[in-house]
A = this chain, B = another copy of it.
Amino acid sequence: MNDLWSECIRGLEPYTPGEQPAIPHLIKLNTNENPYPPSPVALAAIRQAANEDLRLYPDPEGRELKQVIADMHGLSPEHVFVGNGSDEILAHTFLALLKHRRPVLFPDISYSFYPVYCGLYGIECSAVPLDADLQVHIEDYLRPNGGVVLPNPNAPTGSVVGRGEMKRLLEGTDGSVVVVDEAYVDFGGETVIPLVADFPNLLVIQTLSKSRSLAGLRIGFAVGHPSLIDALNLVKSCFNSYPLDRLALKGAVAALRDQDYFDRTRKQVMASREWLAHELCSLGFYVLPSQANFLFARHELRDAATLQELLRERNILVRHFAKPRINQFLRISVGTDAQCQSLVDALREILATTYFADAVPNNAES
């Protein structure tokens, strides 16, 4: 049967998203969703838009949404692109701006969708190793390349690179595009959108899935020089004219305007993160400093996959990546205080009572 498949797709390795199981009373800390609901103003706007006008196509340009984003950053709508989640924007970006003779650079431990896009579009890439502490060093990217993709904060580590360092990267990168994936930036990172005016090769991608609690609505946006945005518009217009539905467009506009709710909930997540990091340390975890809405943590004695399994038996989901260098870490999304407390309680109970066949010191890279 596979004779019918296009030859170019036969060896593709797909991305595997975190589980979305429909189990009641689950404490779901595996896909970095926000523990707080979307802004009530956004929900009201969506309900209001669920009317007879749904028979009509949405605005293919998403002009109102682009204007709101442009206004937030003192830019024009020509600097803004919107898409069906930041994943769709990343896909268009790889094809439109990163397919060159030289390889695209991104960290070896990072969002695992990047190499998948390279496979899809036949783009050469080179994974740049994080250091032993899982940190990004800008000088590693200051070499000839076909583009640089840096998530900041990085995932799944939560580590950040400051704006000064980012500026150094941009100053040293000539003739290729630097994509900064700021999916998690609102939890303590520093956006580089203010650098867009100075660097025509900078594209910044953000999402409403995390800090705006709208993972279920699929909205991302990119900000960059109009020429970069033109390239994204061109590819989008060859792929799907109307990627954002009417409800997503209205919900996004309302969510972005509700700055108070946004500030309140993201600060609460940051406070819970600090509390959770402290508790995990007390339980014998090594926890990477994080400016995201998740923690990346390794227990000094216990195997990560086993811990994940035992948490799952207690209806708590966290994410484990069976990959070199990080297979002893768990990525734990920051929940409500009550969810964080339940996680800590469960871990304390597991660590105190469970027999581990593999209880050996776990502080070496594996």
Contacts and interface: CB of A to CB of B under 8 A. Distances in A.
B12 A234 contact: yes
A338 to B, nearest CB: 15
B12 A238 contact: yes
Interface string A40-78: 000100110011111111111000000000000000000
B237 A15 contact: yes
Nearest to A2: B227
A20 B56 contact: yes
A220 B225 CA distance: 33
A354 interface: no
A12 B217 CA distance: 30
B218 A117 contact: no
B209 A1 contact: no
A172 interface: no
- Most chain B CB within a 10 A radius of its CB, from A5, A15, A22, A116: A5
A34 interface: yes
A119 to B, nearest CB: 7
A237 B15 CA distance: 6
B216 A246 contact: yes
A129 interface: no
Interface of A: 1-9, 12-18, 20, 22, 28, 31, 33-38, 43, 46-47, 50-60, 84-85, 87-88, 91, 95-100, 116-117, 119-120, 175-177, 200-201, 209, 213-218, 225, 227-228, 231, 233-235, 237-248, 251
Given A6-B98, A9-B95, A17-B57, 14 more contacts: A7-B99, A7-B100, A9-B235, A17-B242, A33-B55, A37-B51, A58-B216, A84-B243, A85-B242, A87-B240, A91-B240, A216-B245, A218-B245, A247-B248
22 contacts: A1-B227, A4-B97, A6-B95, A7-B99, A8-B99, A9-B95, A9-B96, A14-B233, A18-B57, A20-B58, A28-B56, A33-B56, A43-B52, A47-B47, A47-B50, A54-B214, A56-B215, A57-B216, A91-B240, A119-B238, A120-B239, A217-B245
